[in-house]
Amino acid sequence: MKEFKILAVIVALVGITYYGIEPYAHSVMHPEVAAADFTFKDVKNVDTTLAGNVENGKALVEANCIACHAIEAAGHPAVMPNADAAASYGVVPPDLSSAGRIYDTNYLANFIFDPVTAMHLEHKYTPDSGKQFPMPSYNWMTPQEIMDVVAYLKSVAPKVSEDKEGHKATFEAACGRCHNMKYAGIEATTPTDNLKNYMGATPPDLSQYIKSRGEHYLHSFINDPQVLLHGTSMPRVGLSEKAQEEVIEYMEEVGDSKKAERESLGLYVMGYMVVFALFAYLWKRKIWEEVH
Amino acid sequence: MMDESRRGFIGKAFGAVAAVGGIASLIAMKKTWDPLPSVMSAGFTTVDVSGLEANKLEVVVWRGKPVFVLKYTEDMKPTDGRNVKIGDHYFSVMIGLCTHLGCIPGYEGDKKLFKCACHGGEYSADGKQTFGPPPRPLDIPPFKLDGVTLVLGDEGPEYKAMTAKA
Amino acid sequence: MAEFKKANSVGEWFDQRLGVVNFSKVMMSEYWIPKEINFLWAMGMILAVMFKILLISGIFLLMYYKPDVNMAFDSVNYTIMQEVAYGWLFRHVHAVGASVVFLIIYIHMFTGIYYGSYKKGREMIWISGMLLFMLFSAEGFSGYMLPWGQMSYWAAYVITEIFGGIPLIGDELVVWIRGNFYVADATLTRFFMLHVLLIPLAILGAIVFHFYALRFPHVNNESGEFFDYEEEAEKFKAGNKKGSKVIPFWPVFLSKDVFVMGIFLIFFFYLVFFHYGFAMDPINFDKADGLKTPAHIYPEWYFLWSYEVLRGWFFEIAGISGKDLGLMAFGFANAIFLVLPWLDRSPMVKPANQRPYFKYWFWLMIADLMVLTEFGKLPPTGPNAWVGFGASLTFLVLFIALPFITKAEAKKVGGK
C-alpha cells in the first residue's frame, strides 16, 4: 500500500539522519577506551597470593597507621578534626574502617607499598614538582607484612546493607573526602580551600554525574581516571568492582531518583496509547466506510 | 462643512503624531534592553601588575572571559606587537581562550608555552600559535595602562600601538 | 437588536447568543478537505497537538522554574526532576516534545514542497508556515537556555556571537542582545520572558493566521488536482459521499488525523520514557560555567543544517573572510525557503516525482540537508571541513539554480 511506502521512506531518511547525529557522531567524539581492569594488574610489587595474618596485621597497623588514620570500626577515632587534618596533610586522611571492603586486594597491597604509582599520579608528584604525597611508601615492609595489614583491614571492615544506605556508605568512604553531592546533602570532608590547593582545582559536585557522564563513562573513569582524562589530578582510587558498582548505584539513586517510576509508568502510558490508537483506527474505519 | 483636502491634512497630521509616539516608545523599549549601568561599569577589570611573579601565569576574569597576564623573565625575548612594557618588564596580556574552539589553555612554565588540553593546540609565551589546530594567535583584549595598573576594557595608546603593528 | 425568543434548549440558548450552529458548520462540519490525501496530511494536526502538549507541560514547569543564574540549574534538575510529583515527566515531555516537534515540522514542510502546496494561490499558507518555523526556532533556542547547563550556556554564547559578524553594529548588537558582555543573568531573564510569553503569543497568532490562510485556496491533495470545491461540497451534502472529492473536516478528516496521532504518540512516549538522550544532552547536566568550554559544542539537531551552512566557509575568498562568507550563507539559507513560491517558476502543481526536473532537485535538496545535518554535529576538522564546505555550497547552488530548472521544466511540459 502506498501509505506504507511513504512511511518507509520517511522512516529510512529519519533513521539515517538519526544514526549520523547520535550514535555515529558520539562514537567519533568519544572514542572507545580500554576496558576497565578491576585486577589492577599493572601494579605487582606485592605477592598477593600470600595469606595474611590478622593478629600480626593488627600490630603493624597500630604501629604504623593510626598516627594519621582513624579506624572507627576498630575503636581508633580520628586524631584531629577534619579542618586541622586537612591543614596538616593537604587533604583529610581516610578513615580505614572500610578500606578492606571497598578496595581491591591487589590495589590495596600495592598502594601501601607505593601509593603514587598505584594511584597513577606519577605526573603530579614528579621529583621537580616540589610536591610530595602525604603518605610515605611502605616499601620497606615485606610482602608478607603488607598482606598481614590487608588481612587485618579486611577483618575489621563492617559489612553494609545492599540498599541505598549501604551504597551511601560506600560512596562516602570512596569519594566523600573530596567530592560534594549536593542533592544528597553530602559535603566533602576536606574543606574546599584545602581541596583546591591540594588538587589544583575544586573537585566537581557529583549530584548529576550519572546524567552528565553516564554509567558507561563512570565505569571506566572511576576505574582509572587517566584513561579518559589524561593528566587529571584525580587519583586512581582502586575500588573493587563491587564497590564501584555500589558507588555508581548511589549516584543513580541520588541523581536519577525517578528512574524506576519512569520506566514502569512508561510501559503503562505506551500500553494506553496502543489501545488509544486501536480505538482511533476502528472509529476512523467506521467513518471512512461512508466516503470510500 | 470641511473640504476634502483639509480632512486629508488632519488625517495625515494625526498619523504623524501617532508615528512620533510609536517611534519614541520603540526607542524606550530598545533602551530597556541595553546593558544596565552596573553591568557596563563591571566591564572594566583592573590588575595591579607590580606584584606579579615572572613566568607565573596570572588569570583574571574580564567580561566573563579569562584573561592571561604573564610577566616575562629577563631572558625571555619580547615580540613586537604582542608584548607590552609596563615599568621595566615585558608582559603578555591575552584572552585565555584557545582560538580553535574556546577551551582555556594551561601555561607550562618550564617549557614557556601554553598548551590547550582539548585538541592539543600550543602557543608560545607571546600567544602565537606554534602547534596544532589554532587558526590565529590568542586575542589581545583592549587595555589601558594607568601606571603599573592594567585596565582591561579601555583602549589606551599602548593597545592601539600594538594592534597597529600586529 | 431584535427581541430574543425564549430558548427551548441549552444549545439554542447559546446559538441565539453566539451563533454556535453556524460557527461549527463553518469551522467543522462544512469545512471541506480533499478526500485524496495520505497520512502526511495529518502532520498539521499533530503539530497543533504537540504545541498544546508543550504549552501544558510548560505551564507546569513554569510553576517551579526559577530564572536566575544561581537557581535555574537546581530548580530544574533537583526541584522539578526529583521533588515535584511527575515534574520529571513534564520536563521529559517538554524537552522531547520540543525536539520531536521539529521533526514533524520538517516532514510537514517537505510534504508541502514535494506536493507543490506553496504556489498558485497557496503562497500565504507557505509564508505563514515559514513564519511559524522561525518562531518555533526562536522558541526552541530561547527555551534551551533555561536549564542553564553547559550546553545551554555555550549554545547561547556561540549563537549570539553570530550576530557579531554583522558589519558596523555587530559587536554592540551582541552586547545588546545579551544585556551583558557575555551570556549572563540579564540574558537568562530576557530569554525567559521571550520563551514563556512573547514568542508563544506570537506562535498562537501565527497558527490562527496559518489556518485562516488555508481557507481560500483550500488544502492541496495528493495529485495536485484543482477542482470546484463548491460543487463537490454540494455533492457531499446531497448524500453522494462516495462520489464527492471532498470530506468535511469533522468528523471525517479528523478521524484520520486522530488515528495517525495515536500511532505518533506511541512513538513519542517511547522517546519520552526510554530514549530521551537525543533531546536532553548529557553535557547539559553540568551547570553552566563561562570559564570552562565543553570539548564539543553543537546546537540541537534541528539547527545543525543551518549551523553547518555557517561553519562550512572556513577560508577566505576574494578578500572576504570565512566568517563573513559563512554569515552570508547562513542568512541566505534562513531566508531562502520563505521565497520558495517565487523560485519555482513552473506552474505545475504535482507530486515532485511526477515532475521531470523538479524531482531531481527535491531529492538532492533532501540529501544535501541530511549531509549538512550530519556534518554539523561532527567536529569540523580535516576532511569534515571540506565536506561541510561542499554541502554548504551545494545548498546555495541548488536554490540559485531552482528558478532555471523549473523554467526549463515549464518549457518542456508545455502548457500542461
Cβ <8 Å between B118 and C293: yes
Which of C186, C293, C297 is opposite residue B39, by nearest beta carbon? C186
- Could you tell me if B81 lies within 8 Å of chain C, comparing CB atoms? no
In a shared domain, residues B21 and B90: no
Alpha-carbon span C350 to C355, nearest angstrom: 7
Question: Is A144 within 8 Å of A109 (Cβ atoms)?
Answer: no
Least confident among A170-179, A245-254, C151-160: C151-160
Residue C416 has pLDDT above 70, yes or no: no
Alpha-carbon span B9 to B2, nearest angstrom: 11
Longest dimension (CA), chain B: 94
- To 10 degrees, the CA torsion angle through C124, C126, C132, C138? -120
Average pLDDT, whole number, for chain A?
Answer: 94
In a shared domain, residues B28 and B93: no
In a shared domain, residues B26 and B53: no
Q: In this complex, which chains have at least 3 CB pairs below 8 Å with chain B?
A: C
pTM: 0.92
Cβ <8 Å between A265 and C273: yes
Structurally, how many domains does chain B consist of? 2
- Of the pLDDT bands very low, low, confident and very high (cuts 50, 70, 90), residue C2 is low
Q: Average pLDDT of C305-322?
A: 88
Q: What is the pLDDT of residues C249-278, one digit of tens each?
A: 999 999 999 999 999 999 999 999 999 999
Least confident among B102-106, C88-92, C144-148: B102-106
Cβ <8 Å between C88 and A10: no
Question: Is B102 within 8 Å of B109 (Cβ atoms)?
Answer: no
Residue C415 has pLDDT above 60, yes or no: no
In a shared domain, residues A160 and A19: no
In a shared domain, residues B26 and B63: no
Question: Is A233 within 8 Å of A121 (Cβ atoms)?
Answer: yes
- Of the pLDDT bands very low, low, confident and very high (cuts 50, 70, 90), residue B135 is confident
Helix (H, G, I), strand (E, B) or coil at B147: coil
Given CA atoms C108, C111, C112, C117 in this order, what sign does their dihedral have?
A: negative
- Could you tell me if A17 lies within 8 Å of chain C, comparing CB atoms? yes
The C-alpha of B50 sits at a distance from chain C's nearest C-alpha, in angstroms, of: 25
- Could you tell me if C265 lies within 8 Å of chain A, comparing CB atoms? yes
Residue C81 has pLDDT above 80, yes or no: yes
In a shared domain, residues B47 and B121: yes
Q: What is the pLDDT of residues B9-64, one digit of tens each?
A: 999 999 999 999 999 999 999 999 999 999 888 888 889 888 888 888 989 999 88
- Could you tell me if C36 lies within 8 Å of chain A, comparing CB atoms? no
CB contacts under 8 A, A 100-159 vs C, are: none
Which of A262, A269, A276 is opposite residue C262, by nearest beta carbon? A276
Cβ <8 Å between C182 and B63: yes
Residue at C202: amino acid letter:
A
Which of C241, C259, C373 is opposite residue A17, by nearest beta carbon? C373
Nearest partner of C86 among C67, C51, C60, judged by Cα: C60
- The residue ranking higher by pLDDT, C314 or C389, is C389
Q: For C244, how many CA atoms within 13 A lie in the half-sphere containing its CB?
A: 24
In a shared domain, residues A25 and A155: no
In a shared domain, residues A20 and A122: no
- Could you tell me if B116 lies within 8 Å of chain C, comparing CB atoms? no
Alpha-carbon span C140 to C132, nearest angstrom: 12
- Of the pLDDT bands very low, low, confident and very high (cuts 50, 70, 90), residue A62 is very high
Nearest chain B residue to C178, by CA: B35
Buried (b) or exposed (e) across B20-52, using 16+ Cβ within 10 A? Answer: eeeeeeeeeeeeeeebeeebeebbebebebeeb
Say how far residue A114 (Cα) sits from the centre of its chain: 22
Which of A2, A278, A283 is opposite residue C38, by nearest beta carbon? A2
- Could you tell me if B132 lies within 8 Å of chain C, comparing CB atoms? no
CATH number for position B63? 2.102.10.10
Which of C88, C270, C379 is opposite residue A29, by nearest beta carbon? C379
Residue C231 has pLDDT above 60, yes or no: yes
| CB-CB neighbours of C369 under 10 Å | 24
Please, which residues have CB within 8 angstroms of residue B30's CB and are 6 or more apart in sequence? C176
In a shared domain, residues A217 and A92: yes
Q: What is the pLDDT of residues A194-214, one digit of tens each?
A: 998 898 788 999 999 999 999
Please, which residues have CB within 8 angstroms of residue C330's CB and are 6 or more apart in sequence? C162, C306, C309, C310
| DSSP state for residue C116 in the 8-state scheme | T
Helix (H, G, I), strand (E, B) or coil at C320: strand
Q: In this complex, which chains have at least 3 CB pairs below 8 Å with chain A?
A: C
Domain-located, residue A5: yes
Please, which residues have CB within 8 angstroms of residue C81's CB and are 6 or more apart in sequence? A258, C87, C88, C91
In a shared domain, residues A42 and A21: no
Q: What is the pLDDT of residues B122-133, one digit of tens each?
A: 899 999 998 877
In a shared domain, residues B22 and B71: no
In a shared domain, residues A282 and A171: no
Residue at A227: amino acid letter:
V
Question: Is A207 within 8 Å of A182 (Cβ atoms)?
Answer: yes
* Torsion angles phi and psi, residue C178, rounded to 5: -80, -25
Cβ <8 Å between B34 and C176: yes
- Could you tell me if C247 lies within 8 Å of chain A, comparing CB atoms? yes
Helix H segments across B33-156? Answer: 37-41
Question: Is B57 within 8 Å of B68 (Cβ atoms)?
Answer: yes
Q: What is the DSSP string of B9-60?
A: HHHHHHHHHHHHHHHHHHHHHHHHTSPPHHHHHTT-EEEE-TTPPBT--EEE
Q: For residue C321, list chain B residues with Cβ-Cβ distance below 8 A.
A: none
Which of A16, A20, A287 is opposite residue C251, by nearest beta carbon? A287
Question: Is C206 within 8 Å of C132 (Cβ atoms)?
Answer: yes
Cβ <8 Å between B33 and C381: no
CB contacts under 8 A, A 27-56 vs C, are: 28-29
Domain-located, residue A260: no
The residue count of chain B comes to 166
Residue B1 has pLDDT above 60, yes or no: no
| CB-CB neighbours of C213 under 10 Å | 17
Cβ <8 Å between C377 and A266: no
Cβ <8 Å between B64 and C290: yes
CB contacts under 8 A, C 64-93 vs A, are: 74, 77-78, 81-82, 88-89, 92
Q: Which three cell numbers stand for residue C116?
A: 507543490
In a shared domain, residues A96 and A224: yes
Say how far residue A157 (Cα) sits from the centre of its chain: 19
The C-alpha of B39 sits at a distance from chain C's nearest C-alpha, in angstroms, of: 6
Question: What is the model's pLDDT at position B3?
Answer: 66
State the residue for C-alpha cell 520506566.
A263
The residue count of chain A comes to 292
In a shared domain, residues A64 and A23: no
Residue A130 has pLDDT above 80, yes or no: no
Q: Average pLDDT of C107-116?
A: 97
- Could you tell me if A196 lies within 8 Å of chain C, comparing CB atoms? no
Domain residues for the domain of A222 are 34-255
Residue B118 has pLDDT above 70, yes or no: no
In a shared domain, residues A70 and A209: yes
Domains of chain C (ranges, CATH numbers)? 34-293 (1.20.810.10), 298-416 (no CATH)
Q: Which three cell numbers stand for residue A218?
A: 563512570
In a shared domain, residues A113 and A187: yes
Helix (H, G, I), strand (E, B) or coil at C276: coil
Least confident among A10-24, B35-49, C273-287: B35-49
| DSSP state for residue C147 in the 8-state scheme | T
Question: What is the model's pLDDT at position B165?
Answer: 67
- Taking CA atoms, B39 is separated from B34, C182, C186, in Å, by 10, 10, 9
In a shared domain, residues A108 and A84: yes
Domain-located, residue A262: no
Q: Strands (DSSP E) along C284-349, which ranges?
A: none
In a shared domain, residues B92 and B135: yes
Q: Which three cell numbers stand for residue C408?
A: 526549463
CB contacts under 8 A, A 201-260 vs C, are: 204, 207-209, 211-214, 257-258
Domain-located, residue A75: yes
Q: Which three cell numbers stand for residue A179?
A: 567530592
Cβ <8 Å between C285 and A2: no
Question: What is the model's pLDDT at position C168?
Answer: 87
In a shared domain, residues B16 and B75: no
The residue count of chain C comes to 416
Which of A10, A18, A291 is opposite residue C107, by nearest beta carbon? A10
Longest dimension (CA), chain C: 81
Give the helix/strand (H/E) hosting B107: strand B106-108
Structurally, how many domains does chain A consist of? 3
In a shared domain, residues B73 and B137: yes
Domain-located, residue A39: yes
Q: Which three cell numbers stand for residue A110?
A: 600495592
> How would you classify residue C196: left for phi > 0, otherwise alpha for psi between -120 and 50, otherwise beta?
alpha
Nearest partner of A150 among A198, A118, A188, A120, judged by Cα: A118
Alpha-carbon span C302 to C190, nearest angstrom: 23
Question: Is B164 within 8 Å of B151 (Cβ atoms)?
Answer: no
In a shared domain, residues B135 and B160: yes
Q: For residue C69, list chain B residues with Cβ-Cβ distance below 8 A.
A: none
- Of the pLDDT bands very low, low, confident and very high (cuts 50, 70, 90), residue B88 is confident
Please, which residues have CB within 8 angstroms of residue A147's CB and are 6 or more apart in sequence? A46, A47, A48, A50, A51, A52, A109
Residue at C401: amino acid letter:
A
Q: What is the ipTM of this complex?
A: 0.94
Q: Which three cell numbers stand for residue C45?
A: 494536526
* Torsion angles phi and psi, residue B124, rounded to 5: -75, 175
Q: Average pLDDT of A6-31?
A: 95
The C-alpha of A3 sits at a distance from chain C's nearest C-alpha, in angstroms, of: 6
In a shared domain, residues B22 and B63: no
| CB-CB neighbours of C240 under 10 Å | 11
Domain-located, residue A279: yes
Which of C88, C285, C378 is opposite residue A212, by nearest beta carbon? C285
Residue B166 has pLDDT above 60, yes or no: no
Alpha-carbon span C272 to C244, nearest angstrom: 41
Least confident among B24-33, B142-151, C363-372: B142-151
Q: Which three cell numbers stand for residue C106?
A: 520538517
In a shared domain, residues A62 and A174: yes
State the residue for C-alpha cell 612554565.
B109
Alpha-carbon span A14 to C100, nearest angstrom: 11
C179 burial (CB, 10 Å; 0-12 / 13-18 / 19+) is: buried
Please, which residues have CB within 8 angstroms of residue C381's CB and are 6 or more apart in sequence? B119, B133
Nearest partner of C343 among C412, C396, C394, judged by Cα: C396
State the residue for C-alpha cell 566568517.
C323
In a shared domain, residues B29 and B87: no
Please, which residues have CB within 8 angstroms of residue C328's CB and are 6 or more apart in sequence? none
Nearest partner of C97 among C280, C348, C344, C356, judged by Cα: C280
Nearest partner of C147 among C199, C196, C76, judged by Cα: C76
Rg of chain B on CA atoms, in Å:
25
Question: Is C289 within 8 Å of C150 (Cβ atoms)?
Answer: yes
Q: What is the pLDDT of residues C197-229, one digit of tens each?
A: 999 999 999 999 999 999 999 999 999 999 999
Question: What is the model's pLDDT at position C1?
Answer: 53
| CB-CB neighbours of C370 under 10 Å | 18
Domain residues for the domain of B24 are 4-34
Residue A279 has pLDDT above 70, yes or no: yes
Angle (CA) A128-A131-A133 rounded to 5° is 130
- Could you tell me if B113 lies within 8 Å of chain C, comparing CB atoms? no
Longest dimension (CA), chain A: 94
Q: Which three cell numbers stand for residue B163?
A: 594592534
